[in-house]
């Protein structure tokens, strides 16, 4: 009897060891937003289909995540098997050889269903280096009731001049309503995301074909004049502290006549649990000026695998699951069609169930389709990106310029002074970096 029990124990132990050896643990670094948290909750679906793979989630705030994964990938730390990265990082990291190419996502992955603009943003020389989990552009959200009361109708795409006139009409601070809410908080991903698209619309670009900054041109002056005028005079007080979340709170409390920001905001402002004006919101494209090229940004959160990872096969299986069409169906079956991650697959925007659940779907698709990271300025440019230039120096440059433009908005310096400071600081950085 003892022998039988001993043998059984050995078999159990051996089985346990074999099982432990067979299981691959994937550590996934991800950003904290609704779509990513939803994915974590649906982990069981993946692990039931792949019992030999377990998932360990590391959720971090965006800036912390960026610092953490950049340190890890640059030093080949090997702490993460799958990283959530933005469209800014993908081309730079792919170029440096830091990302493993995604060449084994499975036969039923349907890579051609990815939206062309997003696919292009996460590819390098035609090879996919990250798979988009959700994508966004920018558009205008406005209060239909206030527009109606003021007798304003939108016919075709607005210009910034027209937007200014509308903001003047809607601006009633005594009644707690501000004409327009825009990002004012300094940062390359904050105010500069919006101001870059305004610059594009006014015919400006970050760098000319020789990588020289162009803040000394007329186009940037026109764009910054408009930005400081419209937000400074017809925006909420203290706009220099407002980023996405602050404006979202203002809009949801009914304090903004218009708000130009990420398309992903549409699902928040139309959610009655979060918004007091959920049934009074209309959507239209971001305004143009001398051109509509690059007038709305393009951003996506993507899943990539660091080069040198020992678990590429398992990681690709996970990425394939998380960014597949089946995953969208899975989210819809558990949480409803309005909650599926938007902006990555064309088939989603042909799905009548989604179109019915998401009244903002058409405008989101229009915005993403019209954003092209390669051709996003009136004049030719040497960089990739609509609201950023995908070069390693851009984070620093963008944040410095953002601080100068924020100071202009606060009235601490004139538009001319801010542009001049932006020109000299950017010129210095680009020279030091050896671009010319």
Is residue 188 involved in binding other proteins (CB under 8 A)?
Answer: no
Q: Which long-range contacts (CB under 8 A, 24 or more apart) does 390-397 make?
A: 390/87, 390/88, 390/91, 390/92, 391/92, 392/92, 393/429, 393/430, 393/433, 394/88, 394/188, 395/88, 395/188, 396/429, 397/188, 397/425, 397/426, 397/429, 397/430
Is residue 62 involved in binding other proteins (CB under 8 A)?
Answer: yes
- Which one of residues 158, 248, 286, 422 is an interface residue with other proteins (CB under 8 A)? 248
Name the one range near other proteins by CB under 8 A: 58-66, 142-150, 155-163, 389-397.
58-66
Is residue 129 involved in binding other proteins (CB under 8 A)?
Answer: no
Cβ-based nearer residue to other proteins, 67 or 424: 67
Residue 229 token pair: 């005028």
Distances (CA, A) of 235 to 126, 173, 305: 43, 9, 42
Is residue 252 involved in binding other proteins (CB under 8 A)?
Answer: yes
Is residue 182 involved in binding other proteins (CB under 8 A)?
Answer: no
Closest contact distance (angstroms) between CB of 85 and other proteins is 14
Is residue 310 involved in binding other proteins (CB under 8 A)?
Answer: no
Sequence-ordered alpha helix ranges (H) in 255-311? 265-269
SS3 153: coil
d(CA 275, CA 103): 42
d(CA 293, CA 376): 5
CA atoms within 13 A on the CB side of 36: 21
d(CA 314, CA 353): 32
Query: What's the alpha-carbon Rg for the chain, to the nearest Å?
Result: 24
d(CA 90, CA 371): 17
- Which one of residues 42, 43, 50, 58 is an interface residue with other proteins (CB under 8 A)? 58
Is residue 387 involved in binding other proteins (CB under 8 A)?
Answer: no
Closest contact distance (angstroms) between CB of 78 and other proteins is 7
Closest contact distance (angstroms) between CB of 316 and other proteins is 20
- Which one of residues 11, 12, 18, 40 is an interface residue with other proteins (CB under 8 A)? 40
Cβ-based nearer residue to other proteins, 58 or 410: 58
Closest contact distance (angstroms) between CB of 67 and other proteins is 7
Closest contact distance (angstroms) between CB of 358 and other proteins is 16
- Which one of residues 19, 22, 71, 111 is an interface residue with other proteins (CB under 8 A)? 71
- Which one of residues 93, 142, 244, 318 is an interface residue with other proteins (CB under 8 A)? 244
Closest contact distance (angstroms) between CB of 386 and other proteins is 18
In the chain, % helix, strand, coil (3-state, to 5) comes to 50, 15, 35
Is residue 396 involved in binding other proteins (CB under 8 A)?
Answer: no
d(CA 73, CA 93): 9
Site for other proteins in 256-285 (CB under 8 A): 262, 264-265, 268, 273-276
Closest contact distance (angstroms) between CB of 156 and other proteins is 29
d(CA 109, CA 132): 12
Residues that bind other proteins (CB under 8 A): 27, 29, 31-34, 37, 40, 56-64, 67-68, 71, 74-80, 189, 243-245, 248-250, 252-253, 255, 262, 264-265, 268, 273-276
């Amino acid at each position: 009897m003892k022998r039988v029990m001993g043998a059984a124990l050995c078999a159990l132990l051996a089985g346990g060891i074999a099982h432990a050896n067979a299981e691959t643990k994937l550590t996934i670094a991800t950003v904290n937003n609704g779509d990513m948290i939803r994915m974590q909750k649906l982990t069981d679906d993946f692990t039931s289909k792949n019992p030999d793979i377990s998932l360990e989630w590391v959720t971090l705030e965006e800036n912390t995540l960026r610092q953490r994964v950049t340190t890890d990938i640059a030093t080949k730390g090997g702490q993460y098997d799958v990283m959530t990265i933005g469209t800014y990082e993908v081309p730079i990291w792919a170029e440096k050889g830091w990302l493993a190419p995604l060449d084994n996502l499975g036969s039923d992955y349907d890579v051609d269903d990815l939206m062309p603009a997003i696919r292009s943003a996460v590819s390098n020389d035609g090879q996919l280096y990250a798979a988009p989990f959700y994508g966004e552009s920018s558009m205008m959200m406005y209060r239909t009731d206030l527009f109606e009361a003021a007798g304003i109708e939108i016919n075709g795409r607005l210009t910034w001049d027209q937007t200014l006139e509308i903001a003047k009409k809607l601006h009633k601070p005594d009644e707690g309503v501000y004409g327009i809410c825009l990002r004012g908080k300094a940062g390359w991903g904050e105010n500069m995301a919006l101001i870059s698209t305004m610059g594009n619309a006014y015919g400006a670009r970050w760098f000319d074909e020789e990588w020289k900054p162009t803040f000394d041109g007329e186009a940037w002056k026109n764009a910054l004049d408009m930005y400081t005028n419209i937000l400074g005079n017809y925006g909420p007080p203290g706009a220099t502290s407002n980023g996405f979340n602050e404006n979202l709170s203002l809009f949801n409390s009914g304090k903004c006549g218009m708000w130009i920001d990420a398309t992903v905001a549409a699902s928040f402002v139309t959610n009655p649990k979060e918004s007091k004006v959920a049934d009074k919101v209309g959507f239209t494209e971001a305004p143009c000026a001398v051109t509509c090229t690059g007038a709305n940004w393009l951003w996506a959160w993507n899943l990539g695998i660091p080069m040198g990872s020992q678990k590429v096969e398992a990681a690709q299986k996970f990425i394939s699951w998380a960014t597949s069409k089946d995953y969208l169906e899975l989210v819809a079956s558990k949480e409803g069609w309005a909650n599926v991650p938007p902006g990555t697959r064309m088939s989603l925007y042909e799905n009548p169930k989604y179109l019915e659940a998401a009244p903002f779907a058409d405008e989101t698709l229009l915005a993403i389709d019209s954003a092209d990271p390669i051709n996003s300025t009136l004049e030719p440019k040497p960089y990739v990106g609509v609201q950023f230039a995908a070069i390693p120096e851009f984070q620093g440059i963008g944040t410095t310029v953002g601080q100068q433009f924020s100071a202009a908005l606060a009235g601490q310096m004139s538009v001319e002074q801010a542009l001049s400071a932006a020109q000299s600081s950017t010129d210095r950085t680009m020279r030091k970096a050896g671009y010319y």
